[in-house]
Amino acid sequence: MDIPRHIAIIMDGNGRWAKKRLLPRFAGHARGVKRVKEIVEHCSGLGVKYLTLFAFGRENWKRPSEEVSFLMNLLLEQLGKEFLRLHENDVKIRFIGDRSRLEELICDKVNFIENLTKDNKKLNLNIALDYSGSYDIIQAVNLILAKGNHTQITEQIFEKYLLTYPDPAPDLFIRTSGEMRISNFMLWQISYTEMYFTSKLWPDFNKKALDEAIRWFNTRERRYGMTSEQL
Ligand code: IPE
Ligand code: IPE
Ligand code: MG
C-alpha cells in the first residue's frame, strides 16, 4: 500500500462528541488529545514523513474566552508532558502560525521544543497554531515585499516564504466530523491534495479510521491534469 508522504488533518468535532454525551465541550477536547497521540504514533509507525495538524485556527480566538483558555492550557500541559517522548522517537516538531498573540509561556515552550527537535528525522510534525491559510499567504507576501529584491516572483519562489516550507504539499487531507469545508486551513498547499471527509468525530478517529483513509487514498488516481493513459 502507498503511504502518503504528507498527511494534513483538520481535527474537528470535539464539541459535538461531548454534547452527544451531555458533557461540557472541554471533555471533548480532552478526549481529542488522546487521538492526537494515537494518530501521531501511528503515522510514525507507518512511515508517514510529514503530518500537519490543525490545532487552533486564527478564527478560533472568537470562541468564548473560557474555551480559548482551556484550549491554551491543554496545549501547554500536553506539550510539557509529551515533548520528551516525541523527541526520543525522533520527531521533529514545528509550529506554524502567528506567534505574536500567544501567551509568553506557550511561546517559550514552542521555541524550546522546535530547537530541541530540529535535527530529528523520523517524522516531521507540524502543529498549526494561530494559523490560517490566508494568513500564511499574506505573511509570505509581506516577507517578499520586506526583502525588496524581487520585482516578479514565480510559484517556486513564493513557496519558499510559506510557513510550511520546505515541506512537500500534503498528499492526503482529512477532515473529521462531517464538515466539508477547508475553514481556512492550508490553501496554497492543497492545490493537488486528495481530500477525504469522514463523519467520524475527532475523539472517535482512531488508527483504524486512519488506515481506512489511507486505503481510500490508494484508490485515487492522481493525474495532475494528465489523462489516465499517460500515467
Ligand atoms: C475541533 O473541535 C477542535 C478545535 C477547533 C480546537 P471543535 O471544538 O470545533 O468541535 P465542534 O466542531 O464544535 O464539534
Ligand atoms: C477548524 O475547525 C479549526 C480546527 C480544527 C483547529 P472549526 O470547528 O473551528 O471550523 P468551523 O468554524 O466549523 O468552520
Ligand atoms: Mg468544529
Q: Choosing from 60, 120, 184, 206, which is the catalytic residue?
A: 60
Q: Identify the pLDDT of residue 198.
A: 98
**Known active-site residue 130:** no
Distance between Cα 174 and ligand 1 center (Å): 14
Domains of the chain, with CATH numbers? 6-132+169-217 (3.40.1180.10)
Q: Choosing from 12, 136, 167, 171, which is the catalytic residue?
A: 12
Ligand 1, closest atom to CA 60? 5
Q: Identify the pLDDT of residue 83.
A: 97
Q: Is ligand 2 within 6 A of the CB of residue 179?
A: yes
Q: Identify the pLDDT of residue 33.
A: 98
Residue-by-residue DSSP string for the chain: -PPPSEEEEE---HHHHHHHTT--HHHHHHHHHHHHHHHHHHHHHHT--EEEEEEEEGGGGGS-HHHHHHHHHHHHHHHHHHHHHHHHTTEEEEEES--TTS-HHHHHHHHHHHHHHTT--SEEEEEEEEE-HHHHHHHHHHHHHHH---SS--HHHHHTTSTTTTSPPPSEEEE-TT--S-TTS-SGGGTTPEEEE-SS-GGG--HHHHHHHHHHHHT----TTS-GGG-
Q: Identify the pLDDT of residue 4.
A: 98
Among the bound ligands, the one closest to the CA of 200: 1
Q: Identify the pLDDT of residue 161.
A: 98
Among left, alpha and beta (phi > 0; psi -120 to 50; other), residue 47 is left
Mutation pick for ligand 1 pocket among 10, 11, 12, 54 (CB with most ligand atoms within 8 Å):
12
Q: Identify the pLDDT of residue 79.
A: 96
Q: Is ligand 2 within 6 A of the CB of residue 12?
A: yes
Report which of 11, 78, 85 is spatially closest to residue 41, judged by C-alpha positions. Answer: 85
Q: Identify the pLDDT of residue 36.
A: 98
- Set of cell numbers at residue 167: 515541506
- Set of cell numbers at residue 163: 510557513
Backbone angles phi and psi of 98, in degrees to 5: -95, 120
For every one of its 231 residues, what pLDDT tens digit does the chain have, with 9 covering 90 and above? Answer: 999 999 999 999 999 999 999 999 999 999 999 999 999 999 999 999 999 999 999 999 999 999 999 999 999 999 999 999 999 999 999 999 999 999 999 999 999 999 999 999 999 999 999 999 999 999 999 999 999 999 999 999 999 999 999 999 999 999 999 999 999 999 999 999 999 999 999 999 999 999 999 999 999 999 999 999 999
Backbone angles phi and psi of 219, in degrees to 5: -90, -10
